[in-house]
Amino acid sequence: MKKLKPKLFSVMKTYTREQCVKDVIAGIIVAIIALPLSIALALASGVTPERGLYTAIVAGFVISFLGGSRVQIAGPTAAFATIVAGIVAKSGMEGLIIATILAGIILIIIGLLRFGSLIRFIPDTITVGFTLGIAVTIFIGQIKDFLGLTLKTSPVETLEKVKACFESIGTINFMALLIGIISLAVLLLWPKVTDKIPASLIAVIVAAALVKVFALPVGTIGSLYELSAKPPMLHIPDIRFSTIGRVMPDAFTIAILAGIESLLSCVVADGMIGSKHRSNMELIAQGAGNICSGLFGGIPATGAIARTAANVKNGGRTPVSGMVHAVTLLLILVVLMPYAALIPMPAIAAILFMVAYNMSGFREFITLLRKSPKSDILVLITTLVLTVAFDLVVAIEVGIVMAAVLFMKRMADVTDVQSWHYINEDSEEEELNDTESIRFRKVPKNTLVYEINGPMFFGAADKFMNISLDAHIKVVILRMRSVPAMDVTALHALEEITRKCKKKQITLILSHVQEQPLHMMQKAGFLLRIGNENFCDNIDVALKRAADLAI
């Protein structure tokens, strides 16, 4: 159960006062960033603004407290917006709450079953493409506030946002643009002055002061959103079997998306701080966080890469920063809302521009473009484009399918079936020096030896059918020392060869069958059908068996 231990309990053993200060500051900065995002995502999800804050507060605290990552920040994310809006439209708020709670239970079960390690099957091309795609999405999403545009619509999709910005380019608020530029300048220049106080905090204070003192016509959190100061309260939904049956598919969608996005966020965070997350514990924490979010009126939550990157950038290195972020949001909601309302949106946009830049990993992206095979580049570009054009779910699904298909093609290309041949005087010197060649073994008359190299699976099954079964052949030996694994399609092809051999009264002998293929043959009853005596430990035993049959 060691791997199911929350990271918080591990890092506290060596926790220092200096790190505590950094975590508190990072948590406050992340809370400032999370405030408008949580509200906006709630509105995009078809629920009231405060429900986004409830999610960031409740789920954010629980997931940081129990999570398997040192720096993960959880809350509402853009990937859920369309899904949540659909659930609300179909089943109402009660249906969404029940779906969120069920998704949490599913996530806990997945974590307890130790399925979190499946994240290792997602290749770097997908992770890098997805990360850069999210960075581009964040950047595009902040153009409106940075320029102070007045959009005719409130689009959710990234490409729709780009279109809306172009259509509304004539509504630029130059005062908002000025505040955005000043905030961006502070973010770039302040670290050269000192790194003791985060540049993000200074940028927010300077921007808010300029807007307030000079009464600039710039949108602030308070001017754009009507917020309730009521804290999250426990609410037990009316759970009925009919409702559960109706929202169960939605619950699975939420659980799968939350799990994938959270674990990918953990992977990105690991690369930023040089740590290693506990995937199964993170899934359990995500489950507990979503259950609590539903019970306190929130919406589905998951690891948020943008906020996680902001946490890391501002010095957060333990789960304490995530807990501080949640508590800070609660204080802002209940006590400090009038002051939070003064924060200009262009300043928040500037902060997120920097977050997008820092998390983009564009250097690694360029490196992969330069050094990777064309097939990997195709997966990389496809994942990036789909993340921006559609959403994370589509990008990951298509990316994984493409990567899997391309991997199978590579495996099929390297898998081959070669027949041994006799060395003659015209043979190459390399063959004459090969201790594994037929020259060093006596092959009985009317015996063929084939060596299979590579995994035997459906992508290469047709190659096994090319084995010669001429009339004079009495014994066929398949040497399988280089076959690490096989699937049911390959086994079916092997059974077809066996039937053809029996029909022509040819004995089939298998040599040096490795553990996985042997186990599969035993389970399928193939070993009994071919006979234990025709399974040989090595090629020498197989050749002796062939010689005995030739007598």
Distance (Å, whole) CA 408 – CA 460 = 9
Per-residue pLDDT of the chain (551 residues; tens, 9 = 90+): 447 899 999 999 899 999 999 999 999 989 988 888 888 788 778 788 889 999 999 999 999 999 999 999 999 987 777 678 778 888 889 999 999 999 999 999 999 998 887 766 778 888 788 878 878 888 888 899 999 999 888 787 788 889 999 999 999 999 999 999 999 999 999 988 886 676 887 888 899 999 999 999 999 888 877 767 789 999 999 888 888 999 998 898 889 889 988 988 898 899 889 889 999 999 999 999 999 999 999 999 999 888 998 899 889 999 999 999 999 999 988 887 777 778 898 988 888 888 788 878 788 899 888 888 888 899 999 999 998 888 766 887 888 888 888 877 877 776 777 766 544 444 455 444 554 555 556 788 888 888 888 888 877 767 766 676 777 788 888 989 889 988 888 888 888 888 888 888 889 999 999 999 999 899 888 888 888 899 999 888 999 998 888 65
Tell me how far apart the alpha carbons of residues 298 and 291 are, in angstroms, rounded to a whole number. Answer: 9
Cβ atoms of residues 45 and 346 within 8 Å: no
How far is residue 24 from each of residues 318, 321, 484, measured CA to CA in Å? 10, 6, 51
**What is the DSSP secondary structure assignment for residue 448, as one 8-state letter?**
E
What tokens were used for 254? 């939420």
Element (H, E) at 419: strand 416-419
Residue with tokens 């200060």: 21
Tokens for 327, please give them.
């508590």
Max CA distance (Å), the chain: 106
Q: Cα–Cα distances in Å, from 303 out to 62, 157, 255, 274, 353?
A: 12, 20, 12, 18, 19
Tell me the whole-structure pTM to 2 decimals: 0.70
